[in-house]
Amino acid sequence: MFKEGLWMLVLGVAALPSAAQTAVTLPYPAPKKVGDPAQLGQGIQRTITLLETSTPTHHNTVRILFYGQSITEQDWWHEVAADLKRRYPNADLVIENRALGGFSSQLLVKTAESDLYSFYPDLVIFHVYGSHTDYENIIRRTRERTTAEVLIQTDHVTQDADLTEETDTAKLRPDGKIWNSFMNYLWLPTVAKKYGCALLDQRNLWKEYLRDYHVPAANLLKDGVHQNAYGNYLMAELVKPYLVYRKDTHIDPINCASVHTVAVGKGVSWQKGKLTQTFVGNRVDVVLKAGTAGTAQVQIDGKKPSEIPELYSFTRALSTPGGKWPVILKLGWEKPRQLETWTMAVTKDPTDPKRFTFTLTGSKTGPDGEGASDKHFVSNSGRIIIEPADWNVDYSLSLPGIKPTPDHFTVTWKVVPLFHDEITAPTTGDKTPETVLTLAQGLTNGPHTIEITGDSNTPITALRFYRPPKFL
């Protein structure tokens, strides 16, 4: 461990507490290797720099999302989150785990619409099994619809035979014959490189650990796939070292390829009671000086943000009874939505248990039509569209143990805002001299003009614009 720490310093990587230091009270031996020091932290330095540059008087807000399925749900993520909070007490960390156990990439590619893109994280820590094409679609859409950095985890080891699996990329094909090798040694590295993502080579590190301590793969698992306490310990100890600041990488997290900040009084100034700025991107934040009263009105491309249809998002469509797994994977719309709660009364067809009929009501819209799960549905208002392929009732209810599917149940979801029409600076209770408010998120990723109406006393110190990359 000493040599590894030395090399981290030589290469300009800020040293972390070693696994041996953090695990002295645990009954498991620390990993001897946690990755190539030349690679640790690569691809996530905007996020880590936001953490590193947080101070007692300047708290950066950093949003981190754990996403995937049951492997991501396991307890290891709590230790990773706790470690970040210990290391960066001055950052305002917003950390969530929205993983859905049992949902492969074929399902997550749909649930990401409500779970991932609307959260707009700075960093996504991601792992999922399933279709490689849907896996790529999730990564691509994350990169094109947010400015998030993505840390892709390769699979952990579930059987001793994995130690001698084929790794020659020339022999790997998506034909299912050696699927795990194809995904971990060809597909995931290719996807990571194509979309500029970080890749944590967890599989090889897991193999090295098993070899170093002559431990059978089953000893780290509770059921042949999922980690037990030992496996959760190891996964956390492999993820934590990757979340490291590199002194040899110089990134300005508020002025870089994906984020641009314009200071009021320098890049933009009040003119006749207005701040006007053109930008390219899909999100705009305003930086406010805390402790000062003042309000201002917002328009983007000549409209209030609330008048822009894309700036609304659906939450998960959950059933009662039920759990966190949505019974309708994705919701659509053709007419502008409004902020409200939707309720669907569902009845199982007595002649066909795979078919469901329903009536739909919006808390503001009112009764909005009826339909069936096997037919394309457009509500009377046009505010809700449901495709037959997006119904997932039996499987989603089986995961929390609800079998058989009830004859009658209720499904609810909300439409929530990704905007603010008015800027109001906080005047009390703020511990830092500034706060950041998202004015619009989910715009088309292109040119826009923002106009803020107030005056020079309005406590706006900067505007910040987010421009996700585009891929051919």
Q: Quick: pLDDT tens for 205-224.
A: 999 999 999 999 999 999 99
Give the model's pLDDT for residue 9. 32
Please report where in the chains the tokens 């805390």 appear, as a residue.
290
Residue 96 in any domain: the answer is yes
Q: How many structural domains are present in the chain?
A: 3
Share of the chain above pLDDT 90, in %: 87
> Across-strand partners of 95?
64
Residue 252 in any domain: the answer is no
Q: Is the pLDDT of residue 103 over 70?
A: yes
Answer yes or no: do 81 and 178 share one domain: yes
Mean pLDDT score, 353-370: 98
Last residue of a domain, one of 416, 432, 453: 416
Residue 29 in any domain: the answer is yes
Report the CATH number that the domain containing residue 272 is assigned in CATH: 2.60.120.260
Q: Quick: pLDDT tens for 24-33.
A: 346 899 999 9
Q: Which domain holds residue 368?
A: 311-416
Residue 150 in any domain: the answer is yes
d(CA 368, CA 341): 13
d(CA 132, CA 421): 40
Whole-Å CA distances, 234 to 99, 131, 370: 19, 26, 50
Q: What is the 3-state secondary structure (H, E, C) of 98-154?
A: CCCCCCCHHHHHHHHHHHCCCCCCCEEEEECCCCHHHHHHHHHHHHHHCCCEEEEEC
Mean pLDDT score, 138-153: 98
Residue 181 in any domain: the answer is yes
Answer yes or no: do 205 and 108 share one domain: yes
Mean pLDDT score, 34-61: 96
Q: Is the pLDDT of residue 338 over 90?
A: yes
Rg (CA), the chain: 24
> Across-strand partners of 356?
348
d(CA 359, CA 387): 15
Last residue of a domain, one of 197, 212, 242: 242
Residue 251 in any domain: the answer is no
Q: Which two tokens stand for residue 419?
A: 């905007």
Q: Is 260 exposed, middle or buried (0-12, 13-18, 19+ CB in 10 A)?
A: middle
Q: What is the 3-state secondary structure (H, E, C) of 325-350?
A: CCCECCCECCCCCCCEEEEEEEEEEC
Please report where in the chains the tokens 């030349």 appear, as a residue.
38
Q: Which amino acid does the sequence have at 240?
A: K
> Across-strand partners of 466?
259, 283
> Across-strand partners of 448?
279
